[in-house]
Every structure is written in structure tokens, then in C-alpha cells.
Amino acid sequence: MLTRNEVADLVGPFNMELIEKWLERGDGVAVYRNMDLGHPEVGRVQAVSFGSPAAQLETNDPPETMPDIGGAINWRYQLIGIYREGD
């Protein structure tokens, strides 16, 4: 589990505006990091919403490997933590 401050540190203030909208509707945030040591974007972080039909991941338990979303191939991204209000 991540704290709200840890999520903000990982994704930056610009992305927190969008994440706040996810949290307001009751979704959680799953944070993934590119773990492919041979990839030029190793270490890059991405956050996705989870938990409701409006979320990017319609599940209460995000998978360890980030699924392909919107045409992006995401097998390099591994779950580093989640945050949900009230947990």
C-alpha cells in the first residue's frame, strides 16, 4: 500500500489533478514502474485507476503486470503499489 503523499511523489503534481478525480469517484490508484533494464524508459512510472466500471481497470485487485491499455503495450510495467481512500 502506498500513501497519498507517496503517490504524489511518484507521479508528480500535474498527474495528481487527474488522480484526485479518480479518488473522488471512489476508484483506487495502481502505480506501475517500467522494470525492463534494457529499455530507454526504465524507471518510468505510470498510474492507472481501478475499481469501478469507469476505471481503466475494472477490478478491485490490479494485476502485477500492467495490462495493455489504449493500444500501449505495457508488459514492462510492474505494480509497485496501490492507494485507495479509506484503506
CA-to-CA distance for 4 and 86, rounded, in angstroms? 11
* pLDDT score of 70 more than 90: no
| pLDDT, tens digit, 9 for 90 and up, residues 14-49 | 899 999 999 999 999 999 999 999 999 999 999 999
What's the pLDDT at 42?
A: 96
Contact (Cβ atoms closer than 8 angstroms) between residue 33 and residue 45: yes
Q: What is the mean pLDDT of residues 69-77?
A: 93
Q: Chain-wide mean pLDDT for the chain?
A: 94
